[in-house]
Amino acid sequence: MAFTLYNAPQSTCSQRVRFVLNAKKLAFDEVKLNLLEGDQLKPDYLKLNPNGVVPTLDHDGAIVTDSTVITEYLDEVFPAVSFTPEQPHARARMRALMHFTDEMPAASVRVPTYNLAFLPRFQKMSREEFVALAESKPLRREFMMTMGQTGFLQADMDAALSRLRRSYERMDREIAASGGPWLLGKDITLADVAIMPALVRMDDLNMAQWQDLPRVVTWFDNVRAHPAFAPTYYPGSLLSERFPHLKQQARAV
């Protein structure tokens, strides 16, 4: 049994999959793609993942894409350390939270990420180079063109931060309703794994806005204390390690 994970150290979607592999103690080879250099858009990689994004898992030749799908796949195939509740209704709630996460915090976190980390690189490109880059991205063409070479507008940034804030408030309500300490109660599930990287990213950008929500503060402490956390966030996994200017800059946003 062999796993190869095509991923990127700082990619939030990749971090979900690394967390589950590490928690299950499944050894895996990592192919690290340089997303800024466009490794994810090369023809050989597009054959594995036509969306041109990471992560992609190769399990003995079986290719699985999309981070939440990969984490569910791993939980089905290796259920010994389970992240999925037994009871069907609890499973449905877990999946609903995963959908919420992809729609709200995981999507919103891209706005500050791109504005703060990637924009300086895009600004150095000619218009033609930038448009060609945007057009080469199967999923993110319009996102890139909206950002343009001057960055997302303050209104876009404010909207993303508002959506993130509402996501923390939703977490708070879910933890309160389930009795915590995790979103669905006493056991960590894939719903917790799905939302984890968004909070880690915002904390890394010095933009954590959940300090007044003690249940979320405790949740964040717990996720960072989980044995799978440190091997997942190995050195080089935080954006601020690659772009040290970020911590300073974020304060000014």
Ligand X SMILES: N[C@@H](CCC(=O)N[C@@H](CS)C(=O)NCC(=O)O)C(=O)O
If one asks whether residue 108 binds ligand X (CB under 6 A), the answer comes out as no
Which of positions 9-28 make contact with ligand X (CB under 6 A)? 11-13
Q: Which stretch binds ligand X (CB under 6 A): 21-29, 50-58, 208-216, 221-229?
A: 50-58
Nearer to ligand X, 172 or 232 (CB): 232
Token digits for 229? 């956390």
Among 21, 54, 111, 191, binds ligand X (CB under 6 A): 54
The full 3-state SS of the chain, as one line of letters, equals CCEEEEECCCCHHHHHHHHHHHHCCCCCEEEECCCCCCHHHCHHHHHHCCCCCCCEEEECCEEEECHHHHHHHHHHHCCCCCCCCCCHHHHHHHHHHHHHHHHCHHHHCHHHHHHHHHHHHHHCCCHHHHHHHHHCCCCCHHHHHHHCCCCCCHHHHHHHHHHHHHHHHHHHHHHHHHCCCECCECCCCHHHHHHHHHHHHHHHCCCCCCCCCHHHHHHHHHHHHCCCHHHHCCCCCCHHHHCCCHHHHHHCC
If one asks whether residue 140 binds ligand X (CB under 6 A), the answer comes out as yes
Which of positions 118-137 make contact with ligand X (CB under 6 A)? 137
Size of the site for ligand X (CB under 6 A): 13
Token digits for 151? 């960055």
- Rounded least distance, CB 89 to ligand X, Å: 25
- Rounded least distance, CB 57 to ligand X, Å: 10
If one asks whether residue 53 binds ligand X (CB under 6 A), the answer comes out as yes
If one asks whether residue 40 binds ligand X (CB under 6 A), the answer comes out as yes
- Rounded least distance, CB 67 to ligand X, Å: 3
If one asks whether residue 97 binds ligand X (CB under 6 A), the answer comes out as no
If one asks whether residue 113 binds ligand X (CB under 6 A), the answer comes out as no
If one asks whether residue 74 binds ligand X (CB under 6 A), the answer comes out as no
If one asks whether residue 67 binds ligand X (CB under 6 A), the answer comes out as yes
Write out the residues near ligand X by the rule CB under 6 A: 11-13, 35, 40, 53-55, 66-68, 137, 140
